Amino acid sequence: MDATRIIAVRHGETAWNVDTRIQGHLDIPLNDTGLWQARQLGLALAGEPVGAIYASDLQRAHATAQAVAEATGAPLTPEPGLRERSFGELQGRTFAEIEAELPEQARRWRKRDPLFAPEGGESLTALRARIAATVQRLAARHCGELVVLVAHGGVLDVLYRLATGQELQAPRTWQLTNAAINRLLWTPDGLTLIGWADTQHLDHASRDETLT
């Protein structure tokens, strides 16, 4: 069976990213910087032979993916399985607020307890199982092709761990930059890391020049 090439992307920036406010399943739009990042991403991928684009159905991911669809002409399909981790009652709070108001939950989150699920939310173990199953299902449809997956920071973190064999509790030493290009290879045996955190398309032009 031919491998499936994957470009995995975290959505562009939102105001809540800037405020370090937990978004989870809340549907927060891109800010002006995020919209610019999405356009730059589309330009960077315009020459790639993209066969299909799948995006989380939350608008910050879908809008980022739409810019790629417009640049490449590839079909875009919403995929709820690519949503960010649900943080339940923690959603809408900043990191500082969680530390102050819910110190025990903050401690378990900080220690990356794989079984910790905020009230009404999802554990890291559940998130990994959801993302692994979703990527397996999508990639298997496109053997021999290149697909783009547009998702969220937590999703990209899981993909990196799956591709490198890192445990959920291993300290993160890799970047999860908004709108960076990350490349993976999928076969029925799993994911392999090809390249990570390519931000050249975000470095070569200033946002102010693009928005004027």
Hey, which residues are catalytic here? 11, 84
Q: Are 123 and 117 in contact (CB under 8 A)?
A: yes
Alpha carbon distance 71, 155 (integer Å)? 24
Alpha carbon distance 67, 71 (integer Å)? 6
Q: Are 98 and 106 in contact (CB under 8 A)?
A: yes
**Of the candidates 88, 71, 100, the residue with the CA atom closest to the CA atom of residue 7:** 71
Q: How many CB atoms lie within 10 A of CB 89?
A: 15
Alpha carbon distance 56, 138 (integer Å)? 13
Alpha carbon distance 99, 102 (integer Å)? 6
Q: Tokens 């993302």 identify what position?
A: 131
Could you tell me which residues come within 8 angstroms of residue 171 by beta carbon, excluding any fewer than 6 positions away? none
Q: Are 153 and 179 in contact (CB under 8 A)?
A: no
